[in-house]
Structure 1
C-alpha cells in the first residue's frame, strides 16, 4: 500500500505543471546531452530502428494487432539510387544542401497560407527536421514535440554531414503500412534493390511521403500521379549533379 501511494505521488509530481516549471532547465540539459550522445554514437554506424518505428510497433500491439510488423533494411547512401536521393530533395526540401536545418522562407509561406486557409494545413519541415522527428521524437501536433524538434534539428545539423542526414532519412522514412526505409520499399513495391530504382519509381515513392498510409504506391490516386509528374519535372530542373552540393 505504501509503495502504491509513493508511485501515485511520483506520477502526480511528474504531470504537475509546477514541477515542470521548476525542473525544465534540468530536463532540457539532460535532453540535449542525450541527443548529443545519440548523434555522436550513430554518426557513422547503421541505425537499427527509429523512435517512430517503435511508436508504430508498440501502438499496434496495444491495439491488439499482433500481425503488424515493422519492416526495414538498412543500406548505405551509395546503395541508394541517385534518382531516389534527388527525388526526396525535389519533393520535400529543395534547399536541403544549403540551409542549416530550417527553411525560413517556406515557414513564412506556410504560416501565411495556414492563416488564410481553412482547409489542409501546409507544413514546412525540412529533411533535417523530419529526420530528427522520425529518429528521436514522435509524430503528432503538439507544442512540446515542436519545441524539442528545434534543438534536435540544430544538433543534427551540427553533428552530421548532409549526406549522413539524407542517408538516415531515406532509411527510416515510412513508405507504407509497416514499410520503413527505401530499401524495404523498393523490394516490396518494385521487387528490386534501392540502387536500381528508376527516375519514375523514385518519384512515385517520394510522392507518397506526406502520408504513406493514405497515399498508395501500389494503387496511386490521381493526386499521387500528378505529384509524381511534378517531382520528375523538379528533378529534371535540378539535375542529377545537384547532389554534388551535398559533398
Structure 2
C-alpha cells in the first residue's frame, strides 16, 4: 500500500516541481535572455541523431533592433489578436478542435504567439492533449507576470527559421545577409511565411505555398496591431 501511494504521489510531485521550475524561469526571462530553449535542445539532439552536421545559430537582439516590418508580418501570420488577448484565442482553439475531431488526431493547435513561446521555451514538438494542457498552464503563468511586448521580444528571438537557425537576427543574416532591424516588408513577410514549417521550406525553398503565403501576409500587414511597447 505504501509503495502504491508513492507511485501515485510521484507524478504529482514531478508536475509541481516542473511548474515551479518553469515559473522561476519565467520570472528570470522578464529581464534576462534565455541561454538556450528546450525546443533548441530538442532540435539539436534530433539533428545529431540523424547524423546532420548542424551548428546552432542563436543571436539575441533587443526588441528595438528588430524591424517593425517583421513584427507586423508575424502578427499578421501567426496571431492577429495578440495585442488584445490574454494568451489564448478561443475562437481559434475551437476551430482547431473541430479539425482535430475530423482527423482523429491532434494536428491543428490554434496556438497563439504566447502559446508558441511557452512550447519553445519549456516543451517539445510532440502533439498530444496532455502537452497542450501543460502549454496552456505555462502560457497562463507567463501572461500573468510578463508584459506583452516582452513576450513578443522573447518570441522574436527564439523561434526557428531553418536548420539550427533561431531568432530574427540569425534568420535575417542567414537569408538576407543583413541585420533584423533592416528587413524590408517583402523580406519580413517571406520570413514570417516560413515559421509554421521552417524545415520544410528549408528543404523546399521554391515552394509555391511559401510564395502564396508571403503574398497573403503582405496584404494583412497594414492592419497588424502591435502590443504597446514599454521596452
Confirm or deny a common fold (TM above 0.5): yes
| Distance 1:20-1:227 versus aligned 2 partners, 3 A rule | farther
Equivalent residue, structure 2, for 1:86: 72
TM-score norm. by structure 2 comes to: 0.90
| Distance 1:120-1:107 versus aligned 2 partners, 3 A rule | closer
38-47 or 113-122, larger mean C-alpha shift: 113-122
Q: Of 141, 145, 149, which residue of structure 2 is paired with 1:159?
A: 145
| 1:109 has 2:92 as partner | no
After superposition, the C-alpha distances for 1:32-59 in whole angstroms (9 at most, x for unaligned) are 2111111111211222211111111122
| Distance 1:227-1:119 versus aligned 2 partners, 3 A rule | farther
| Distance 1:222-1:19 versus aligned 2 partners, 3 A rule | farther
Once the two structures are TM-superposed, the CA of residue 120 in structure 1 deviates from its matched residue by 10
Bigger Cα Rg = 1
| 1:126 has 2:126 as partner | no
C-alpha distance in 2 between matches for 1:142 and 1:112: 15
Unaligned ranges ≥5, structure 2: none
C-alpha distance in 2 between matches for 1:141 and 1:200: 32
C-alpha distance in 2 between matches for 1:212 and 1:143: 23
Q: Which structure ranks higher in relative contact order (CA pairs < 8 Å, sequence separation ≥ 6)? A: 2
Q: Of 41, 58, 77, which residue of structure 1 is paired with 2:45?
A: 58
Unaligned ranges ≥5, structure 1: 1-12
TM-score norm. by structure 1 comes to: 0.84
The 5 Å alignment of 1:137-156 reads 137-156=123-142
Equivalent residue, structure 1, for 2:165: 179
Secondary structure in 1 matching 2:200:
coil
| Distance 1:223-1:27 versus aligned 2 partners, 3 A rule | same
| Distance 1:119-1:30 versus aligned 2 partners, 3 A rule | closer
Work out the number of aligned pairs and report it: 228
